[in-house]
Amino acid sequence: MIEVISIIIFLLGYIAISQEHFLKVSKTSISLIVAVVLWLLVAASGANNTGTALAKSAEEIFELVIFLLSAMTLVEILTHYGLFDYIYTKLIDLHLRDRAQFFIITLLAFIFSAFLNNITATVVFLQISSRFFSGKNLLKSAAAIIIAINAGGVFSPIGDVTTTMLWLTNKFSAQTILTQAFLPSLVVFLVSVLLIGKSIAADTEDRIENTKQPGKIEWFIITLCLLSFLLPLFMTTLHLPPYFGLLLGLGIVWLVIDLARLQKLNSTNLSTSIEELFQKTDIASLYFFVGILLAIGALSHLGTLEKISNLIFTSTPTTARIITGNIAIGGLSAVFDNIPLTAAAIGIVNTTNPSLWVLLALTVGIGGSILLIGSAPGIIAMAMVKELTFSKYLKIATLPALVAFCSGILVWFLQYMYF
């Protein structure tokens, strides 16, 4: 009986989270309430080893939160020291028009989303896009950026939260996700951008905006930040948690900035401390992850996830059944938030084959692009580009995103069969 109650509570919370933009209630508050209520059910059930199970969940949450907090801070430093303003200026200097600008901006969004979190990448590239486009072109550009960022975050272990979750739980190695997911992700990007970009209208208006360019000290700090994103991969070769790499990188960057401030170098950017940049990080999202992972931990301890797994995949699932199930989960991510879906799948999908986990990362990552409400970039774009409504995205991007989704799965399947 208590398992049924836990499922009902989780599903009600899940529906409320997925409809955040309609209910106008923070999904973070819902996730935290659901998490605590489910653990109260665990306590009321008298389950054994509750303390051990809670400690295990806390360890996983600690790793993810520290990793994301460090990454968010490094991105804020990159933004503050002018990396993205520099990119904008260089695009202006190329004197490109309409489609060329569209393809370059979406390509940069795809590339940068491999190491920026998707929320930050969306904000940055929508801001850049709005400086180049207006009207229908802006709507098409925003839609393509959503798909590009969701696709780009998949093939990197630090690109998308769902991929990071799977990586940190040892479902695949960094090398596996990079080699097996890059080509499907690239195909998703190319198919969607080509389908949307072919209808970009000519726009001959010049847009020039003055921005301050990074100096020598800024470029040194930017370089250190970018190198910091490589350190998690190095740490895994030493059998240390990936977040050690970002902590080391952040510590070095922080020290360099403090030393530069002491030298009173001629840079207005140095007037802002790291502590001030901390205040710009998305703490609400971190609390959301905490709530979701705690809730999934409670369901796992109650044995609910095991029963769901047996129901969907059976106790000894075939490869074909797992592939079908992963694709179905990806389809659900078009409507429901992919973070809870991934967290649940980690406890439900019964396989040790890393290639099948790569497929799950692909489907939940790119499946959210099918509808505007299916991913964090979509929700952010809806808030930043007021004209981009659910119905307009449906008309502009849903079919290209669906075709790209199927194309990416096909490429993964061909790789799986032949390589």
Q: Give me the pLDDT at residue 207, please.
A: 54
pLDDT of 64 > 80? The answer is no
Beta-carbon contacts of 366 under 8 Å, excluding residues fewer than 6 positions away, are: 147, 150, 151, 154, 185, 188, 330, 401, 404, 405, 408
| Polymer length of the chain | 419
pLDDT at 204 (0 to 100): 47
Q: What is the pTM of this model?
A: 0.76
* Domain layout of the chain by residue ranges: 55-418
For residue range 156-165, list pLDDT tens digits in order.
998 888 898 8
**Rounded Cα distance, 338 and 289, in Å:** 11
SS3 content of the chain, % helix, strand, coil (to 5): 75, 0, 25
- What does the pLDDT look like over 354-395, one tens digit per residue? 999 999 999 999 998 998 877 878 877 876 787 888 889 999
Please state, for a pLDDT cut of 70, what percent of the chain lies above it: 93
pLDDT at 266: 65
Q: Say which residue, 350 or 195, is predicted with more confidence.
A: 195
Q: Please state the rounded mean pLDDT for residues 253-260.
A: 90
Q: pLDDT tens, 285-294?
A: 788 878 888 8
Q: Does residue 267 surpass a pLDDT of 80?
A: no
Rounded mean pLDDT, 93-115: 86
169: enclosing H helix or E strand: none
